[in-house]
Amino acid sequence: MGDIMYKKLIFTSELSNDEKVQEILPLLVQKNYETEFKTLNEDFSLNEPASTLVIGTNTDESILCKNLNISFGLATWQCQSFRHIKTDYYFRQPYDILNLLTSIEAPYKNMKWLTTAMEMQFIAQAGLAYTKDRFDHERFTRLSEMAAEIMAQYTDLPKEKVQNLFCNETGYQTPKIDTRSVIFQDDKILLVKEIDGRWSMPGGWVDVNQSICDNIIKEAREEAGLDVVPTRLVAIHDRNRHNTPLYAYGIAKVFMLCEVIGGHFSPNIETSESAYFSLDNLPRLSVGKNTEEQIRLCFAAYKDKNWIPVID
């Protein structure tokens, strides 16, 4: 899925006995990454340094890789202190490595028209929020209309619909927040069937008067009929780095493990069915809301009581 062009991962020998590293190795191999454990010393070299990511635990390894123009990621969970270690990546736990490799590094690459329209709308929206000059107000309004025109031209959507979807907010532009309730029973994850026939974890936009946890509780009740208590954070994802299709605005997706305290499912205007699924028997997913990788991450967090959240 990702644009990150690493083909090989070298873990330093200090990580060879790390249980969490061993846990992600089959997943890396499954995605066709070559993996190896190696001791880094003065004789260390690579035939294809540009396509290799080295993951180590100390300053000397970081400096060596920098001198050889090799990307280096620090396994911070194995460091007592990394205050003065400057490197390419800082991994808080092994699943951060998988998260990096399965994310889209540059989601707007080769889409200059979209980034231009987004920047125009950002400037227009902020200008309309803060200007007190009526002439500037007219100029910012026109700038917003031009952004909508660009979007309409490239997406084949009517300009009016683009304005409703893309240009309908006021105030300083910030990412939206989407929450997903992660609910397990008998080592299976709860998914709800949406009206279009695809499946997702219960969730949706955070309402203006809701906190993240309040929204998780509300969505689980509305879409799955369950009363839940949010317990642990699984991940916060930048949606456009993990989900498709690409949206013209930022979205932070929050996944939280929840405990069920009551309730039962009833068909409603959003979902027609609910069921628990094992990881090897997932239904057709609504990938704009949750991918197999994100569900896999939820399984890993569910099984690990000491889980460290994955945050983009």
Mean pLDDT value across the chain: 93
Chain centre to alpha carbon of residue 27 = 18
On the 0-12 / 13-18 / 19+ scale of CB atoms within 10 A, 287 is middle
Amino acid residing at 277: F
CB 72 within 8 A of CB 78: no
CB 196 within 8 A of CB 286: yes
Phi, psi of 228 (to 5 degrees): -130, 160
In the sheet that holds 71-75, the strands lie side by side as 34-38, 8-12, 52-56, 71-75, 89-91
Other C-beta atoms lying within 10 Å of the C-beta of residue 73: 22
Return the structure tokens found at 266. 């009833």
Q: How many residues does the chain have?
A: 312
CB 226 within 8 A of CB 263: yes
Q: How far apart are CA 283 and CA 277, in angstroms?
A: 8
Return the structure tokens found at 44. 């260390």
Nearest to 61 by CA among 102, 14, 24: 14
- Identify the H or E element spanning 230: strand 226-238
Q: Write the pLDDT tens digit of every residue in 190-240.
A: 999 999 999 999 999 999 889 999 999 999 999 999 999 999 999 999 999
Q: How far apart are CA 184 and CA 256, in angstroms?
A: 11
CB 194 within 8 A of CB 269: no
Nearest to 217 by CA among 28, 158, 207: 207
Percentage of the chain with pLDDT > 90? 79
Average pLDDT estimate for 139-156: 90
* DSSP codes joined into one string, 54-84: EEESSHHHHHHHHHTT-EEEEEGGG-S--TT
Other C-beta atoms lying within 10 Å of the C-beta of residue 6: 16
Give the model's pLDDT for residue 3. 59
Interior angle at CA 69, CA 66 and CA 73, nearest 5:
55
Query: What's the half-sphere exposure (Cβ side, CA atoms, 13 Å) at 187?
Result: 6
Query: Which residue matches tokens 């070298």?
Result: 10
Of 47-61, 164-178, 225-239, the least confident: 164-178
Neighbouring-strand partners of residue 310: 235
Q: Write the pLDDT tens digit of every residue in 11-28.
A: 999 999 999 999 999 999
User: Residue 2 pLDDT more than 60?
Assistant: no
List C-alpha distances in Å: 301 to 42, 58, 248, 256: 38, 27, 30, 10
Give the model's pLDDT for residue 4. 66
